[in-house]
Amino acid sequence: MIPEFAVLGHPNEGKSSVVSTLTEDDRIRVSCIPGETTVSRRYTVKIDGEDIIRFVDTPGFQVPRQTLAWFKAFDGDPAKIVNRFIDTFKKDPFFADECELLSPVARGSGIIYVVDGSRPVRDDDLAEMEILRLTGRARMAIINSKTEKKDYTSDWQLEFRKHFNSIRLFNSNTANFTERIKMLESLKAIDQEWESVLSYVILVFKKDWQKRNRLVTALMVQAIEKSLSFFVSETITPSSDQEEIKERLNKKYQAHIKETEKQMFKKIRALFKHHLFEYHLSDYSILKHDLFSKQTWELLGLTKEQLAAAGAVIGGTMGAVIDTAAAGITFGVFTAIGGIIGAGSALFGGKKMAKKKTAGIRLGGDKLQLGPNKNLQFLYILIDRALIYYSHIINRPHGRRDLQDQPEKIKSKKKGYSTGFTTSQRNICAKFFKVVTGRLFIKEKKAMSNFEELIESVLNEISKK
Ligand SMILES: Nc1nc2c(ncn2[C@@H]2O[C@H](COP(=O)(O)OP(=O)(O)OP(=O)(O)O)[C@@H](O)[C@H]2O)c(=O)[nH]1
Ligand SMILES: [Mg+2]
């Protein structure tokens, strides 16, 4: 038998939200109108096809004082008190909710009692706590404060000490993976009987999380690799409309980068079981630019020489202009997407240009080419965007039902995760980048696996917070 816990409490205190967060199930109905939940429903956490733990969402107490009066007057076998209550009142509409909410307890479930710590303790609550004590079941109380404006936590704790085996602050709207695990750890303390089985549950949860992080690592590395190596090109003839081709290539390149990211995000979101919550990063600012334009090259942080070379390819007179403009640019200052410009001789009055490679600029044959991006900064942008998305997805409790998180501005370099990378981590990134963009042929496997390990370790780090 797997452990089962009924989540009980007053109407509208956040019971369904707590179940939703604990089971990572955002399809459970949560509403600001009291009385949303009318029947007890079991939600089983399954991992790799195996039932692991079950939480039961229940309706709130409606007539706790009358119920308590019956409990107090009961003089039969204390172990049967709940079953006897249900037997007695199952057809009585007055006690309908109480019978319903106590049904999992009658089956032998443990109890998690939920209160909103931002409101004071009332007589009804004391009656509810006393009923739960009289059930004789292992029970834990959790304080799920709906607002921070008022705090009655200490009053609740005082009362809870008299009635419960364990007390915990647990917020259904903020709790992340670490807090869910801590909550399970506390549940262990409510009864020795649960201890070993809950230790197993915790172990399975942790392993499952690690597995998810490994899958996310694979998804991220694949997507990053795909974006870094991507390029578009088009053959040109003397009669080609150069502007039109550039525009088309730009669009193609941008659409592909965006789509690759979108598909990766979709899979991460599904892995963490989010159906309602979606997080939108602000667009790549650089994708708003014409990747063939001088302004974009400046944003790329190309060197003076690179810009001059690119300018020379694109058009004779522009070279000088770009050269001057580049004087104030420091390489690496701008985080932006880069495009590699390949241009053919046909563009320039039939003057044949030799195929050659200038750092970051490739001069192609009779074609215009955009990408692969040869700017290392692009890798860091891809990493940061993926990690920011991941952190929002994993830190979003399933019980929370308000608006989406605000899009984060990641223009400032300081905000990205990669800015905190150590020198050796940066070296790993640089090696990976070289391998993926085809500039490093030795030790390829090691470069790839080192990068994977790095990403996985960062994911594990983010998960711990
Ligand atoms: N801000 C905030 N709101 C919460 C929190 N927990 C619950 N709520 C909100 O409180 C309202 C009631 O939450 P539910 O989870 O439906 O409460 P319930 O105890 O299941 O209610 P009934 O089913 O009606 O008994 C909803 O609007 C929730 O979004 C919380 O921790 N913080
Ligand atoms: Mg409910």
Give tens-digit pLDDT for 376-433. 878 888 898 899 999 999 999 999 998 655 554 444 444 678 888 999 999 999 999 9
Task: For residue 146, give the DSSP letter.
Answer: S
Which pLDDT band, with edges at 50, 70 and 90, does 242 fall under? confident
CA triple 380-381-386, angle to 5 deg: 100
* Residue nearest to ligand 1 atom 5, measured at CA: 146
Report the separation in Å between the CA atom of 165 and the middle of ligand 2, taken as the mean of its atom positions: 24
Percent of the chain scoring above 70 in pLDDT: 79
Buried b (16+ CB within 10 A) or exposed e, 423-437: eebeebbebbbebbb
Residues 6 or more apart whose Cβ sits within 8 Å of residue 211: none
pLDDT at 298: 61
Find the mean pLDDT for residues 34-55.
Answer: 96
Sheet holding 367-370, edge to edge: 232-235, 367-370, 341-342
Distance, in Å, from the CA atom of 404 to the CA atom of 323, rounded to the nearest integer, reads: 45
Residue in this structure with the two tokens 């309706």, named with its chain if needed: 59
Closest CA to 226 of 436, 453, 454: 436
Q: State the closest ligand 1 atom to the C-alpha of 19, by its place in the atom list counted from 1.
A: 15
pLDDT at 281: 84
Report the separation in Å between the CA atom of 12 and the middle of ligand 2, taken as the mean of its atom positions: 7
pLDDT at 398: 97
Q: State the closest ligand 1 atom to the C-alpha of 401, by its place in the atom list counted from 1.
A: 29
Question: pLDDT tens digits, residue range 87-113?
Answer: 999 999 999 999 999 999 999 999 999
Report the separation in Å between the CA atom of 56 and the middle of ligand 2, taken as the mean of its atom positions: 10
Question: pLDDT tens digits, residue range 304-351?
Answer: 555 554 443 443 323 222 222 232 222 222 222 223 333 322 222 223
pLDDT at 295: 64
Find the mean pLDDT for residues 429-447.
Answer: 81
> Of 46 and 289, which is predicted with more confidence?
46
Which pLDDT band, with edges at 50, 70 and 90, does 171 fall under? very high
pLDDT at 304: 53
Find the mean pLDDT for residues 154-183.
Answer: 94
Question: pLDDT tens digits, residue range 123-141?
Answer: 999 999 999 999 999 999 9
pLDDT at 247: 87
> Of 324 and 30, which is predicted with more confidence?
30
Report the separation in Å between the CA atom of 246 and the middle of ligand 2, taken as the mean of its atom positions: 56
Ligand 1 interacting residues, C-beta cut-off 6 A: 9, 11-17, 30-32, 34-37, 59-60, 144, 146, 171-173, 401
Residue 463, pLDDT > 90, answer yes
Q: What integer best gives the mean pLDDT of the chain? A: 82
Q: Is 201 helix (H, G, I), strand (E, B) or coil?
A: helix
Q: What are phi and psi of 9, to 5 degrees?
A: 160, -175
Using alpha carbons, list the distances in angstroms from residue 102 to 23, 45, 53, 398.
Answer: 20, 21, 19, 25
pLDDT at 90: 95
Report the separation in Å between the CA atom of 105 and the middle of ligand 2, taken as the mean of its atom positions: 17
Using alpha carbons, list the distances in angstroms from residue 131 to 11, 65, 196, 314, 448.
Answer: 16, 9, 28, 81, 60
371 in Cβ contact with 250 (< 8 Å): no
pLDDT at 402: 83
- Ligand 1 pocket test: pick from 31, 98, 128 the residue with the most ligand atoms within 8 Å of its Cβ: 31
> Of 316 and 52, which is predicted with more confidence?
52
Q: Where are the domains of the chain?
A: 4-190, 213-464
Q: Which structure tokens are listed for 431?
A: 């090696």
Residues 6 or more apart whose Cβ sits within 8 Å of residue 317: none
Q: State the closest ligand 1 atom to the C-alpha of 30, by its place in the atom list counted from 1.
A: 16
pLDDT at 236: 77
Lowest mean pLDDT among 142-146, 340-344, 371-375: 340-344
> Of 299 and 449, which is predicted with more confidence?
449
Lowest mean pLDDT among 28-32, 164-168, 412-416: 412-416
pLDDT at 404: 57
Report the separation in Å between the CA atom of 32 and the middle of ligand 1, taken as the mean of its atom positions: 6
Return the CATH superfamily for domain 4-190: P-loop containing nucleotide triphosphate hydrolases (3.40.50.300)
> Of 206 and 352, which is predicted with more confidence?
206
